[in-house]
Amino acid sequence: MGTMTEDHQQQNVRLDRIETKIDQITNSVSQMSIQTAVIHEKVNDLEVRRREQHERSNNFSRRVDDLHDCVHKVEQHAGKLEAQMSITTKILFVLSAAIVTGVGNLLFNLV
């Protein structure tokens, strides 16, 4: 069996090793805490960006819907104008034919 001093020295060496390991574990935990905080900040930033992108996407969707409504109104208006033009063209064609026929009759009667 060893002397008290040797036992005391061995205990001191063991305690020093334990303290060193505790210090290493503490440093590791501290580093992990820092890394966790950095990751947390990045996740928060990504969440903010996701919300912003979602809002932008909604705005674009609304604008596309508005454009679709405008195009639909223009199509309806163009259809109405086309119908009016068709009627107007027919009337002008009939009037032109009547005028040409009348002028032709006048010329034919003059000769």
**Whole-number mean pLDDT of the chain?**
91
The model's pTM is 0.50
Residues of the chain with pLDDT below 50 are: 1
Largest CA distance in the chain: 156
Q: What is the pLDDT of residue 29?
A: 95
DSSP secondary structure string for all residues of 27-64: HHHHHHHHHHHHHHHHHHHHHHHHHHHHHHHHHHHHHH
